Amino acid sequence: MELTLLWTIAQRELREALRNKWLWFYAVGFAGLAFALSQAGLASAGYSGLGGFGRTAASLVNALLLFVPLIGLSVGAGTLAADRERGTLIYLLAQPVSLAEVFFGKALGAALAVVASLGLGFGAAGFGLTSSGGGNAGAYLSLAGYTLLFALASLGLGFVISVLTSKGSTASGGALLLWLVLVFLGDLGLIGATLALRPTPAVLFGMLLINPLQVFKLAAIYSLRATLDALGPVGQYAAHRFGEALPLLLMGLLLGWIIVSFGSAFAVFARRGDG
């Protein structure tokens, strides 16, 4: 791959993504909510700010569980499918560029757009925490790092949807359906499986790791509290079984989701040939 061509395609994709009104709608909504949560959490802690960061971070994690997969899936799903529907993808592939340069150039541009939208929200929350004199920089940066990995994993799943569909509307519908599955049906499925099967903590922990959203939730809670006791027996099992290696395990799982999702999407894209 030629890096110059890849970067040119990435710049074009970044401009296209930033012109997407829905991306800005999600980004501004997340930024406004993050700033409001930072102010509300610290205000409830009194003048000293004692405990305000913990409440703010917990509320921010709940917001991230909704917004991050929505942003990543929607951006990724529309990247290739929309160009395929408009016919611009065929035109691009007719140029002296390789399939890998087109795919990974688009992936890089879409990833930069997602990072920019999330940076707006984290910047707003960080400004709110700093202006109020509260916060834990290490925990906040750790949360931001896990969020970035989760966003890229969601973007990769969006690309899988995009390479499998031929219309932008179909891809958007598939992204919304997968978002509902990850955010809502995943929790309901775990609750139902727990009530019906009554699995051991080890089995339930394994079931949690199937869903990248649950992996991110575990990582976020651990980074903020350094303990998973809030999750009951499952959290205690994870902390006892993996100890200090747990953050590396969760980070590795998120990286695995990124590699598998983008790798699968590229394999399908390369097999189709015409995009």
Give residue 255's pLDDT band: very low, low, confident or very high (50, 70, 90).
very high
Find, among 225, 52, 33, the residue nearest to 129 by Cα.
52
Q: How many CB atoms lie within 10 A of CB 217?
A: 21
Q: Which domain holds residue 14?
A: 3-272
**pLDDT at 106 exceeding the cut of 50:** yes
Find, among 222, 66, 250, 80, the residue nearest to 151 by Cα.
66
pLDDT top residue among 228 and 42 = 228
Which residues are CB-neighbours of 191 under 8 A, at least 6 positions away?
none
Provide mean pLDDT across the span 29-36: 78
- CA-CA distance, 151 to 162, in Å (whole number)? 16
Structure confidence at residue 54 (pLDDT):
61
Structure confidence at residue 127 (pLDDT):
72
Residue 274 phi, psi dihedral angles, 5° rounding: -90, 5
Q: Considering the entire predicted model, what is its pTM?
A: 0.87
User: Is residue 85 classed exposed, middle or buried when 0-12, 13-18 and 19+ CB atoms within 10 A define those classes?
Assistant: middle
For residue 184, what is the DSSP state?
Answer: I
pLDDT top residue among 205 and 69 = 69
Query: Per the structure, how many domains does the chain have?
Result: 1
**pLDDT at 257 exceeding the cut of 60:** yes
